[in-house]
A and B are shown apart, each in its own frame.
Chain A
Amino acid sequence: MEKMSRVTTALSGSALTGRTMHCHLDAPANAISVCRDAAQVVVAGRSIFKIYAIEEERFVEKLNLRVGRKPSLNLSCADVVWHQMDESLLATAATNGVVVTWNLGRPSRNKQDQLFTEHKRTVNKVCFHPTEAHVLLSGSQDGFMKCFDLRRKDSVSTFSGQSESVRDVQFSIRDYFTFASTFENGNVQLWDIRRPDRCERMFTAHNGPVFCCDWHPEDRGWLATGGRDKMVKVWDMTTHRAKEVHCVQTIASVARVKWRPECRHHLATCSMMVDHNIYVWDVRRPFVPAAMFEEHRDVTTGIAWRHPHDPSFLLSGSKDSTLCQHLFRDASQPVERANPEGLCYGLFGDLAFAAKESLVAVESGRKPYTGDRRHPIFFKKKVDPAAPFAGLASSALSVFEMEPGSGSMSWFVDTAERYALAGRPLAELCDHNAKVARELGRNQVAQTWTMLRIIYCSPGLVPGTNLSHSVGKGSSCGLPLMNSFNLKDVAPGLGSETRLDRSKGDTRSDTVLLDSSATLITNEDNEETEGSDVPADYLLCDVEGEDDELYLLDPEHTHSEEPEYVLPQEAFPLRHEIVDTPPGPEHLQDKADSPHVSGSEADAASLVPVDSSFSLISVSHALYDSRLPPDFFSALVCDMLRFYAEQGDVQMAVSVLVVLGERVRKDIDEQTQEHWYTSYIDLLQRFCLWNVSNQVVKLSTSRAISCLNQASTTLHVNCSHCKRPMSSRGWVCDRCHRCASMCAVCHHVVKGLFVWCQGCSHGGHLQHIMKWLEGSSHCPAGCGHLCEYS
């Protein structure tokens, strides 16, 4: 508010008005500058030099300063500046090295005042002293800066940057005698106008040319520089050594930089190449521009804030031959379009999730969901890093940590290592794998293996234990069966609201039976959506409203009676009885398929009861009618595989696929198989189980997979003399023309397998060395080393 009042005083009572508008120029602009009264702007370019009045609705051409019949190079402007004290005084820098001053007060048509032709090369920049009426500074490609007194014919003093071209010169706004200059080699120099012999201070600001700099209008020591290295840096010059206080990374080289009036941390930039937009940055937030103006169709070459105390009007000139006035409120704000959601897995399986706060608020009506198997859940809200931008974009961050051990995948590693996939009869493989699974406490999987054995091997061989096991399993089936009937009765009433009920959690307490089935459903649900952020989403809404806290969420169903809680896998055997069910009527079978295929939650929820209802029939059949041809079961087995795959246990799916081989392969489409294989191989490789992964690749029947082993089989060798890679042939170096590997026995070049002793590094043809070492224990090269070959 205080600032606002200051603005009005500065504007002497009349606030600036206007709108976003543009006008067409006849030629590309190179630079623009605004008059002190904020009502006129001068545009200069190679073939344009005009003054426009800024009116409410449009720009009006006021004066064309390019007079004379013949175009002169003196008028080909690289830069233009309007004196901030004297409204009638302008200066231009010409590409041919001339500095021209213009006096609008001259009565004649030609307003040209003075001509300084002291620079040998293009003048890149001119700058008037902010308070002194007659002092003009110029910086040129020839590496010199010159200070002119407009009352005299030639320069007062010359400053040599001792380097290549000067790209920008700027008088300090606060320190009367100081000016900064930037150079093509990346340096910034600070000069005292009274001491032309040497600069006060010099430091390297950028990698490559520094195209521009700008002193902060209020902060005495702050200098912003922009360079070809796509950076804008803000330097604090008050300290002994220039200190970089802020750094903004843009997407293209920075051609101009201008601090925004009345906004301490804002600055506007435009680029010289590729990028046509003008950005306004908050230097404290260096990654997302605060505002963006996208009007121009070609690179913006000049920007200027219309009034030194008004932050809302920005003028710009461009190579596309337009002059624009941008209103800050019309700017597009990239922050709004930013996507403040993020999801990331930590090294140890932790999950971090950030979402827009508003998004979280919308979903806060949802009830807690705690079916997740990862029991302890930490949730915290991060302190907003963008405090000054509150409301623009802030997101809540949640972190879910794994319980130590719960995320352990040791069972996966063990299983992968111990499973037998080939090389033995099917029955043995199944038994072996079942045993492995059982030892690892994965009874369900063990069960499956046993069943596979029953299905595909002759029934007489089924050992008693296995039988009893499945019988036991069968009896346990009674429970879910009843369950499902129960549910079935309710189902029509629940209809599509199954999911809703589940999440509400109060229906859960109705009956124990219903509860357990509900848990089953939710568990499945969770499995199916694993990897997507839906569970995380639920978790987020759990704890809405309790910010800034890091706390432990107790999983809601801490009913001690529930076995599912202790061993979550226990929930699944219910499903697994299905495996050995003979198929029911065809249409029902189809239905049972659908949840796996579609994966839709609602389907799964409503169909589970249907499945289990058939498990009753199934058990009895499996035990007494196992002489059905194995083909009979293949559809079911495929189902089972899909089920496992969807559960995330792709290991099981692939292992069974490999073990059963031809028996089931034809029933699953190639693409699915390939998908399983690739995911399993990927997993194996993540756990560094290279051998297993290779075995799987080898055993796979899918072409796309087995060719994985054929890729990148090249072994690159370096020459032993010059240490360069040998590009064409593996045995002779193109550079030093020597053969890299000689056989110590036959003294010929080894082109194939080369063995060498790690002790003395002599070696040769595999055959030769083997033969040699049979007869002698010394190195064939005669070095005296006792080589060993094993």
Chain B
Amino acid sequence: MNRGGSSPSAAANYLLCTNCRKVLRKDKRIRVSQPLTRGPSAFIPEKEVVQANTVDERTNFLVEEYSTSGRLDNITQVMSLHTQYLESFLRSQFYMLRMDGPLPLPHRHYIAIMAAARHQCSYLINMHVDEFLKTGGNAEWLNGLEYVPQRLKNLNEINKLLAHRPWLITKEHIQKLVKTGENNWSLPELVHAVVLLAHYHALASFVFGSGINPERDPEISNGFRLISVNNFCVCDLANDNNIENASLTGSNFGIVDSLSELEALMERMKRLQEEREDEEASQEEMTTRFEKEKKESLFVVSGDTFHSFPHSDFEDDMIITSDVSRYIEDPGFGYEDFARRGEEHLPTFRAQDYTWENHGFSLVNRLYSDIGHLLDEKFRMVYNLTYNTMATHEDVDTTMLRRALFNYVHCMFGIRYDDYDYGEVNQLLERSLKVYIKTVTCYPERTTKRMYDSYWRQFKHSEKVHVNLLLMEARMQAELLYALRAITRHLT
């Protein structure tokens, strides 16, 4: 205790001798450049979020209660635009990270790191590197997958599939993991891991989709500055078109355009609602519509990829990969369209045959008690969340829109609802939105501010955050459904 007494004024706060700080922690962090914009999100003006925050005592309480880091991080700040949802989110996240569960605490964070690494989400990785060390994790593991026990390493395969092509998960994968042996997983452990993986894949979507800025480290103000690496981080990538976009959205013609856009959307919604009874599409028609949506999602991004990813960007991508890739194997593995040309035989996942409510819940809850209820509440919450507003309009029933978003995400993962007319998706979701959805759910790391800005220009930021929440939860549910179905098949 005889160190660090040099600045008596700081005694009121606290004294930390330098060697008490884990120097190591900073080494393991992935270096990030300072964000260009202030505030929690690069996409959303700071005042939007902050304003909402100051009013909200509830958020602070929730953070107090459920946050693992003990501070109001940027994700929470952005999510606090929807306090109702935030509560379920934080509760379930807290439960899977901190409460009773089959996996030891450091493992949970390591799994989170592995999941986030699939999408090169440095924000989440840094966060969990901290937490990993704080919970007593072995610092050596942070050197990469080669340093972790074989058992955790075995999770890599399922992590990869779950993140990018969950429909490929079969009961053989499960069997391989639970097969008795030295490094086998018990089913409860596996379910815990799967829930964590799905949660963090989906959360990575949210982070990129909402342009979450890196945390401003309290240490920085203490004079420790992180070396910023120019144009290195993905978040920068997300910020690339900052100025250009500002001018775009600000221009008059944009507003006019988007106003009519909004009107048109509302008009379509109304028409759909009325038309329902009259127009009876044949079954074949319905099937074709689903297939069409599925296929169309193919082209949705491929065109855009060229546009927003000039060659130089891809190079950046590679550099990032090298830094993050120590947590993953096979970094080249990415989303591949469910309905790839020439590969038609992949069976569609019939939602009615394996639903979250009937099947997924029971299995999860059986093997990892109580998480089922929390996830159930979260899914229900996000699906039913509405303020009955659309941009400037009030008293709008947005059920249709929410359902379209949710089902469109599932559609891209090959999950089909018998009772849904996929023609609706086409009518309700404009192309720029589809691009955004596809990017956020399938390649979140490629999301740019332009994409975020280009759809629903008239809508409020909080509404766009709501969209992100829907996408995130839909994605998580899709991943869980595939993984749990494989586990069920393994069990029978």
Q: Report whether chain A binds chain B.
A: yes
Interface residues in chain A, defined as those with a beta carbon under 8 Å from any beta carbon in chain B:
46, 70-74, 76, 78, 94-97, 117, 119-122, 141, 184, 208-209, 211, 228, 252-253, 272-274, 276, 297-299, 722, 724, 727-729, 732-739, 742-743, 746-752, 765
What is the bound-complex CA distance between A469 and B420, given in angstroms? 97
Q: Select A727's contact among B64, B135, B352, B353, beta carbons within 8 Å.
A: B135
A732 contacts B362, C-beta separation under 8 Å: no
A729 touches B359 (CB 8 A): no
**Is A274 touching B1 in the complex (CB atoms < 8 A)?**
no
CA distance A46 to B357 in the complex (A): 19
Contact A122:B134 (CB < 8 A) given known A273-B362, A274-B363, A765-B1 = no
In the complex, chain A residues whose CB is within 8 Å of the CB of B427: none
Asked whether B419 lies within 8 Å of A96 as measured between CB atoms, the reply is yes
Cβ of B359 and Cβ of A272 under 8 Å apart? yes
Complex formed: what's the CA distance from A749 to B10 in Å? 12
- Cβ-defined partner of A272 (8 Å) among B11, B276, B283, B358: B358
Q: Is the beta-carbon distance between B14 and A121 smaller than 8 angstroms?
A: no
Min Cβ gap B47→A in Å is: 26
Complex: A733 Cα to B134 Cα, angstroms: 11
Contact of B227 with A by CB under 8 A: no
CA distance A32 to B286 in the complex (A): 27
* Most A-side CB within 10 Å, residue of B218, B353, B362: B362
What's the nearest-Cβ distance from chain A to residue B171, in Å? 13
**Chain B at the A interface: mostly helix, strand, loop or mixed?**
helix
> Please, which residue of chain B has its CB at the minimum distance from the CB of A209?
B357
Q: B282 — nearest CB in chain A belongs to which residue?
A: A72
Task: Out of B14, B286, B350, B419, name the residue touching A141 (CB < 8 Å).
Answer: B419
Per-position 1/0 for B6-45, Cβ under 8 A of A: 0010010111100010000000000000000000000000
Within the assembled complex, what's the spacing in Å between the Cα atoms of A95 and B358?
14
Task: Answer whether residue B58 sits at the interface, using C-beta atoms and an 8 A cutoff.
Answer: no
Total count of chain B residues near the partner, CB < 8 A: 43
Contacts of B350 in A (CB 8 A): 46, 95
- B1 adjacent to A748 (CB under 8 Å): yes
For A121, what are the chain B residues with a Cβ–Cβ distance below 8 Å?
419
- B15 to A, closest residue via Cβ: A749
Q: Assess the B134–A747 pair: CB atoms within 8 A.
A: no
B70 and A735: CB pair below 8 A?
Answer: yes
What 1/0 mask marks residues of chain B from 192 to 227 whose CB sits below 8 Å from any chain A CB?
000000000000000000000000001000000000
The answer to whether A738 touches B13 (Cβ under 8 A) is: yes
Partner of A752, one of B1, B133, B284, B362: B1
B492 adjacent to chain A (CB < 8 Å): yes
Instruction: Jot down 25 A-B pairs with beta carbons below 8 A, ordered by A.
Output: A46-B350, A73-B286, A76-B352, A95-B350, A95-B418, A119-B419, A121-B419, A122-B418, A184-B357, A208-B376, A228-B361, A253-B362, A272-B358, A273-B358, A273-B366, A274-B366, A274-B491, A299-B492, A729-B20, A735-B69, A735-B71, A738-B14, A748-B5, A749-B14, A752-B1
Are A736 and B70 closer than 8 Å at their CB atoms?
yes
Q: Give complex CA distance A24, B160 in Å.
A: 38
| Docked complex Cα distance between A253 and B366 (Å) | 10
Q: Chain A: interface secondary structure?
A: loop
Contact A272 B362 (CB under 8 A): yes
Tell me, in angstroms, the Cα distance from A305 to B162 when the chains sit together. Answer: 43
Interface bits B281-323 vs A (CB < 8 Å: 1, else 0): 0011011000000000000000000000000000000000000
Residues of A within 8 A of B71 (CB): 735
Q: Which of B8, B134, B361, B366 touches A734 (beta carbons < 8 Å)?
A: B134
CA distance A273 to B16 in the complex (A): 54
Q: Closest residue of chain A to B363, judged by CB?
A: A273
Q: A208-B361, A228-B361, A748-B4 are in contact. List 7 more A-B contacts (CB 8 A).
A: A70-B283, A72-B283, A184-B357, A252-B362, A253-B362, A274-B488, A728-B136
**Given contacts A95-B418, A735-B70, A738-B13, A298 and B492 within 8 Å (CB-CB):** yes
B280 interfacial contact with A, CB 8 Å: yes
- Chain A residues with Cβ below 8 Å from B358 are 209, 211, 228, 253, 272-273
Please, which residues of chain B bring their CB within 8 A of the CB of A96?
283, 286, 418-419
Answer whether A724 and B70 are a contact pair too, CB < 8 Å, given A46-B350, A95-B352: yes
- Min distance, Cβ B269 to any Cβ of chain A, angstroms: 14
Asked, given contacts A70-B283, A729-B20, A732-B16, whether A274 binds B362 with beta carbons under 8 Å apart, the answer is yes
**Residues of A contacting B283 in the complex (Cβ-Cβ under 8 angstroms):** 70-74, 96
Residue numbers of B with Cβ under 8 A of A are 1-2, 4-5, 8, 11, 13-16, 20, 64, 69-71, 133-136, 218, 276, 280, 283-284, 286-287, 350, 352-353, 357-359, 361-363, 366, 373, 376, 418-419, 488, 491-492
Bound together, the chains give a CA A358 to CA B136 distance in angstroms of 58
A751 neighbours in B (Cβ, 8 Å): 1
User: Could you tell me the distance in whole angstroms from the C-beta of B138 to the nearest C-beta in chain A?
Assistant: 14
> Is B366 a contact partner of A252 (Cβ separation < 8 A)?
yes
Q: How far is the CA of A738 from the CA of B134 in the complex (A)?
A: 16
Residues of B within 8 A of A228 (CB): 357-358, 361-362
A728 interface neighbour in B8, B134, B276, B287, Cβ under 8 Å: B134
Give the CA-CA distance A231 to B71 in the complex, in Å.
41
Chain B residues near A209 (CB-CB < 8 A):
357-358
> CB < 8 Å: which of A46, A95, A737, A765 contacts B14?
A737
Task: Give the chain B neighbours of A211 by CB distance below 8 A.
Answer: 358
Compute the total of residue contacts between A and B using a CB distance below 8 Å: 115
A742 proximity list for chain B (CB < 8 A): 11
Query: In the assembled complex, how far is the CB of residue B490 from the closest CB belonging to chain A, in whole angstroms?
Result: 11
CB–CB B70/A273 < 8 A:
no
Complex Cα gap A46–B376 (Å): 26
Q: Report whether A747 and B11 are in contact in the complex, using a CB–CB cutoff of 8 Å.
A: yes
Provide the residues of chain B in CB contact with A729, threshold 8 Å. 20
Please give the distance in Å from B94's CB to the nearest CB on chain A. Answer: 12
Contact of B352 among A70, A78, A253, A298 (CB under 8 A): A78
Chain A residues within 8 Å of B492, by CB = 276, 297-299
Find chain B residues with CB under 8 A from A297 CB. Answer: 492
A273 contacts which chain B residues (CB < 8 A)?
A: 358-359, 362-363, 366, 488
Q: How far apart sit A746 and B5, CA to CA, in the bound complex (Å)?
A: 10
In the assembly, what is the distance between CA of A733 and CA of B418, in Å? 53
Which of chain B's residues have a CB closer than 8 A to the CB of A736?
70
Residues of A within 8 A of B64 (CB): 722
A76 touches B418 (CB 8 A): yes
| Residues of A close to B287: CB separation below 8 A | 73
Q: How far is the CA of A253 from the CA of B372 in the complex (A)?
A: 13
State the CA gap A96–B420 with chains docked (Å). Answer: 7
In the complex, the chain A residue whose C-beta lies closest to that of B11 is: A747
Bound form: Cα–Cα A94–B357 in Å? 18
- Nearest residue (CB) in B for A121 is B419
Residue from A184, A297, A737 with most neighbouring chain B CB atoms (10 Å): A737
Chain A nearest CB, measured from B101 CB (Å): 16
Which of A120, A727, A737, A748 touches B276 (beta carbons < 8 Å)? A120
* Alpha-carbon separation in the docked complex, A750 to B15 (Å): 11
Question: Which residues from chain A contact B133 at a C-beta distance below 8 Å?
Answer: 728
A residues in contact with B2, CB < 8 Å:
748
In Å, the complex CA distance between A73 and B350 comes to: 12
Tell me how far the C-beta of A231 lies from the nearest C-beta in chain B, rounded to whole angstroms. Answer: 13
Complex Cα gap A252–B283 (Å)? 35
Q: In the complex, A298→B492 CA distance in Å?
A: 6
Q: Are A95 and B419 in contact (CB under 8 A)?
A: yes
A273 to B491, CA, bound (A): 10
Closest chain-A Cβ to B360's Cβ sits at a distance in Å of 9
Q: How far is the CB of A644 from chain B (nearest CB, A)?
A: 43
Closest chain B residue to A94, Cβ basis: B418
| Shortest beta-carbon distance from A251 to chain B in Å | 9
Closest to B380 in A: A164
Give the distance to chain A from B97, nearest Cβ to Cβ, in Å. Answer: 12
Q: Which chain A residue has the least Cβ–Cβ distance from B353?
A: A46
Q: Which A-B residue pairs are the 7 nearest by beta carbons?
A: A735-B70, A95-B418, A739-B14, A273-B362, A72-B283, A96-B418, A95-B352
Rounded to whole Å, the gap between the CB of A698 and the closest CB of chain B is 29
A628 CA / B15 CA spacing, docked (Å): 70
CB B313 to nearest CB in A, in angstroms, measures 37
